[in-house]
Structure 1
């Protein structure tokens, strides 16, 4: 079974923990409690293949910038989260993406998903689908509009990222076994 780690990044209060907990535990976190760092692990099946996924839920980007650099350096896939009900959170995601590319290399196609949360709050929506689609097309990454409360498209986010990581990080080939001595049944010579 292959193992991957994903990092959930975004501004404070956008629903990173609600999204992560909904996927990992199938629970909705009703009250906002600022996260410093939470790690979750789960075996998931994507396209008939089991994968061990570790998800790091981070603090709001503006609170622990130095820690984010460490998370980005060690991360293999990224979920960039913003709130559909808070346009300013989309700008934060833009700077986080730039930070990822700076750390991982400008030319790399790092596995990444753009996620708008709080889709169920239709009366509070500030970010249009057209703006999100244009951004996702320019960045060449998939985008999802989700609701952790209603469990809308939450699983799809993580499955998409796992597919990207499988493609970007191909399985390591098995290590070649050392060839045995071609002597005629003789033991190898050992000098001490």
Structure 2
């Protein structure tokens, strides 16, 4: 079956498998050419729906006469109501130019691993259990793309984010300058950035060829009124401290990486195997 838009509504017609073999041949069929029941019928857009949807009594009567079946489009589902936002999530968004080590920082923090090869990111999300207002909640970390090809995704991430990590590489002065428009967009969307936790992070301190000193990052952080830290995802330097400090900046509600006084950890192998049997 095909449904095609036409002036004043939509055209509905079944596929004619015995007479048409390709899409090109199908497109060449004129609306006036006779075809097996049901024939082509021009229906208003409001009276058209997909097969399998409930038909009204009038539609069933019109289809039973052999002149064709008419359907009406059901109302579009409200996707927002089907997938409600998790109110207890705390969303952290990581921004920065391509290749500064955003994904390496997140993977080092969440999984304790470091990836030597560079793989461009479009957008990845990682989750970890944390303590939030004396209860357990989810830390959701969004690792964004370093490309400027997705401005809509960037705006959406800012609007939904609670805290932000702005990463540059100490080996690239340009990567620090690339953060300026991102910070301005955060300020425009969030308004008073003094109430929003923001960390300016100079990554790749393990590299020898520096173009930026720590004092330059500190100066920009003071100008933006945000916190500053230098890290190395490769050497696992200040990675855990970065996320701890970011959560400590949150003043609207208490959040931390501790759960009941202990660090939130993934289940151990023994815990995962508990209750399972194995074949010896």
Q: How far apart are the structure 1 equivalents of 2:193 and 2:124?
A: 30
Gap regions ≥5 residues in structure 1:
172-192
Q: How far apart are the structure 2 equivalents of 1:134 and 1:60?
A: 24
Map of 2:252 onto structure 1:
168
Q: How far apart are the structure 2 equivalents of 1:107 and 1:44?
A: 24
User: Any conservation in 1 of the 2:93–2:144 contact (CA below 8 Å)?
Assistant: yes
**Paired residues, number:** 168
Map of 1:26 onto structure 2:
112
**Quick one: higher RCO (CA 8 Å, sep 6+), 1 or 2?**
1
Matched, 1:113 2:190: no
Question: What SS is found at the alignment partner of 1:103?
Answer: helix
User: Any conservation in 2 of the 1:117–1:147 contact (CA below 8 Å)?
Assistant: yes
Map of 1:174 onto structure 2:
none
Matched, 1:159 2:244: yes
Question: What SS is found at the alignment partner of 1:102?
Answer: helix
Tell me by how many angstroms 1:168 deviates.
2.8
Matched, 1:141 2:258: no
Tell me by how many angstroms 1:106 deviates.
4.4
Question: What SS is found at the alignment partner of 1:161?
Answer: helix
Moved over 3 A (4+): 48-51
Q: How far apart are the structure 2 equivalents of 1:41 and 1:169?
A: 19
Matched, 1:16 2:102: yes
Question: What SS is found at the alignment partner of 1:168?
Answer: coil
Q: How far apart are the structure 2 equivalents of 1:54 and 1:105?
A: 22
Question: What SS is found at the alignment partner of 1:115?
Answer: strand
Map of 1:127 onto structure 2:
212
Q: Map of 1:179-190 to 2, 5 A cutoff? A: none
Q: How far apart are the structure 1 equivalents of 2:254 and 2:242?
A: 20
Aligned with residue 148 of structure 2, among 33, 44, 62: 62
TM-score, normalised relative to structure 2? 0.56
Tell me by how many angstroms 1:66 deviates.
2.0
Q: How far apart are the structure 2 equivalents of 1:37 and 1:71?
A: 10
Gap regions ≥5 residues in structure 2:
1-87, 256-280
Q: How far apart are the structure 2 equivalents of 1:24 and 1:60?
A: 20
Map of 1:189 onto structure 2:
none
Q: Map of 1:59-98 to 2, 5 A cutoff? A: 59-98=145-184
Q: How far apart are the structure 1 equivalents of 2:174 and 2:167?
A: 12
Q: How far apart are the structure 2 equivalents of 1:36 and 1:140?
A: 29
**Greater Rg, structure 1 or structure 2?**
2
Q: How far apart are the structure 2 equivalents of 1:6 and 1:59?
A: 14
Tell me by how many angstroms 1:94 deviates.
1.7
